[in-house]
Amino acid sequence: MTIQKQGRDSHRDRYAPDDDGLRFQDLTYTGNFVGMEPVVDGIKGDKQMKARAKTKILEKVGKEEVLKDQFSIDELNDLNNYLAWNIWDVLVMRATEGVSGMIPRQEYEILAFMHEFYRWPEILAMTTDEVGGAQGVMDIGATARREIGTKVNSVHDWAIGAVGFGMGRCGLLALEAIEPDDYIAESNTILKFMQRILWGKRQDGYLLNSQDRYRCQIHEDDFLADLLGQVENFEPGDERHAKFTQFNAAAELLSFLDHYDCRLGLGDTGPYELPDGKILILRDLFVNEEVFHWSDVCDDEKLPHAYTLALVIDPEMLGLQEIRVNDISTTFTRPKNYIGAIVGGAVFAREKWNTPMGQVQSIPISELDDHLPRVQNATLKLYAKTARMPRRDLIWNGQYVYYVDMILPYLRLGGTYEKACTDYQLWEIDQRVSNYYYDITKRGFASETVPNKIFSGAGYLPFSDGADLRRSKYRIL
């Protein structure tokens, strides 16, 4: 594979304090800032959103702030506004996001959003209590610093607040099932859990990758050094480059399909700059999630819980201008296609979600000939299995992928998954959400109203000034 270099390597310029980054999309964002200058994407958009905040909650915050029991109304509104912009930033530039030719994604997504907003607060509060409070939740986040193949990653951490709070509340407001000042206490519970996980993972004071110029550099130096010792160097176009990139594509496809065409199956961290100027991206691909009954086809092929790929990219060869690891764990570059500039790689396999890090296996690229056919077989079996499912099953299965998987890693590490299943009926569907199944396809609610409210930012209504932080839902009139 040859690559057409499209300019000089200038990506380090993006880390200068006064640099506003590149524009990856032509659209602009308004959200709750009607009548003001539109907000753009990327580094400049992050600066605009921080400048409009009433509080310092979007700046680097210290541990004492994270340990506080709740946010103020102004802090909740600043987080609401920022998450709404961040959702637009990561989703809108993918024009086909949320569309699947086989799985009704828009339908399962909106049901899951609303289910999460209703049901997660008591489960996250229980988990916080069980792990010893705020410090225990931060410790769960910190585990990601010395692990690979773990779902304590950007997309899951982001989803707690952006999906469970932001999109869930937005969907219920659009359905007129709640009002802006309903469930304030529950909103605080969700967002505090998100803040503590992210702060514990990053430990630099920021919460989201977008606040740090799209960097997710969470791993400890000595931990990275051990992984780099397994990297094999190669030339673009040679046999090992072809095997490595083919395996990356095949495992990525299966991780998507096993998670019902969503990104919960993928997790990138980085970019890490190496001593020779090259860039490392670590990519977790979760190809066998044991809580999904349809993953039995992955069991049949004896696939591990996750593969992790170390990708070494030559920025000079690419003429790299900007690289983003965004908050849904996905790497974007300008120029767009970096595959031809991958000059080294390594593959690791984590057998089960709780396999100790010391037992994670390194797989030489020459041995991928054994793994690739099994990944491809599982993918074909899963397509055949999915194609036979009725639409209703597809929607509720997808709903479970979001509603369960987005908080699954924290329940597992907190030791509260079984308690959530037995005492809190995690896998049952709340009657309100069950009834919404019949409403979401009426008058284009799932296909038009919800995407418009979520992507435009118009649906993220603020809490009222002076609203009571203790307020839940006291009336249905």
User: Which of 163, 166, 138, 157 minimizes the C-alpha distance to 82?
Assistant: 166
Considering the domain architecture, whether residues 200 and 265 belong to the same structural domain is answered as no
232-233-237-240 Cα dihedral, nearest 10 degrees: -20
Taking a C-beta distance cutoff of 8 angstroms, is the pair 399, 115 a contact?
A: yes
Put simply, whether the predicted model's pTM sits higher than 0.95 gets the answer yes
Considering the domain architecture, whether residues 291 and 431 belong to the same structural domain is answered as no
| Distance (Å) of CA 64 to CA 8, 70, 141, 143, 440 | 43, 12, 16, 20, 42
Considering the domain architecture, whether residues 88 and 204 belong to the same structural domain is answered as yes
Considering the domain architecture, whether residues 382 and 431 belong to the same structural domain is answered as no
Considering the domain architecture, whether residues 85 and 171 belong to the same structural domain is answered as yes
CB atoms within 10 A of CB 328: 26
The chain-wide mean pLDDT, for the chain, equals 95
Considering the domain architecture, whether residues 158 and 232 belong to the same structural domain is answered as no
Q: Is residue 341 part of a domain?
A: yes
Separation CA 370–CA 354 (nearest Å): 24
Separation CA 87–CA 83 (nearest Å): 6
Q: Is residue 11 part of a domain?
A: no
Q: Where does the pLDDT of residue 447 fall: very low under 50, low under 70, confident under 90, or very high at 90 and above? A: confident
Mean local confidence (pLDDT), 431-458: 88
Q: Is residue 463 part of a domain?
A: no
Domain boundary among 387, 407, 427: 387
Q: Is residue 15 part of a domain?
A: no
Q: Is 7 helix (H, G, I), strand (E, B) or coil?
A: coil
Considering the domain architecture, whether residues 33 and 154 belong to the same structural domain is answered as yes
Chain segment 373-387, per-residue pLDDT in tens: 999 999 999 999 999
- Predicted pLDDT at 2: 63
Q: How many separate domains does the chain show?
A: 2
Q: Is residue 12 part of a domain?
A: no
Q: Is residue 474 part of a domain?
A: no
Half-sphere exposure of residue 352, counting CA atoms within 13 Å on the CB side? 6
Domain boundary among 347, 366, 387: 387
Chain segment 344-400, per-residue pLDDT in tens: 999 999 999 999 999 999 999 999 999 999 999 999 999 999 999 999 999 999 999
Separation CA 159–CA 263 (nearest Å): 11
Q: Is 104 helix (H, G, I), strand (E, B) or coil?
A: coil
Q: Where does the pLDDT of residue 7 fall: very low under 50, low under 70, confident under 90, or very high at 90 and above? A: confident
Separation CA 89–CA 164 (nearest Å): 18
Mean local confidence (pLDDT), 64-87: 97
Which two tokens mark 421? 């299943």
Considering the domain architecture, whether residues 230 and 376 belong to the same structural domain is answered as yes
Considering the domain architecture, whether residues 255 and 154 belong to the same structural domain is answered as no
Mean local confidence (pLDDT), 224-249: 96
Amino acid 52 reads: R
| Distance (Å) of CA 136 to CA 142, 190, 331 | 10, 15, 30
Considering the domain architecture, whether residues 433 and 306 belong to the same structural domain is answered as no
Q: Where does the pLDDT of residue 441 fall: very low under 50, low under 70, confident under 90, or very high at 90 and above? A: confident
Q: Is residue 20 part of a domain?
A: no
End-to-end CA distance of the chain: 63
Amino acid 457 reads: G
For residue 329, pLDDT over 90 is answered with: yes
Amino acid 322 reads: E
Domain boundary among 368, 387, 406: 387
Triad 334, 340, 341: Cα angle to 5°:
70
Separation CA 113–CA 149 (nearest Å): 25
The one-character DSSP state at 29 is B
> Can you say how many angstroms the Cα of residue 91 is from the centroid of all Cα atoms in its chain?
11
Domain of residue 134, residue span: 28-213+391-456
Q: Is residue 329 part of a domain?
A: yes
Please provide residue 311's backbone torsions phi and psi, each rounded to the nearest 5 degrees.
Answer: -110, 120
Considering the domain architecture, whether residues 111 and 65 belong to the same structural domain is answered as yes
Considering the domain architecture, whether residues 252 and 380 belong to the same structural domain is answered as yes
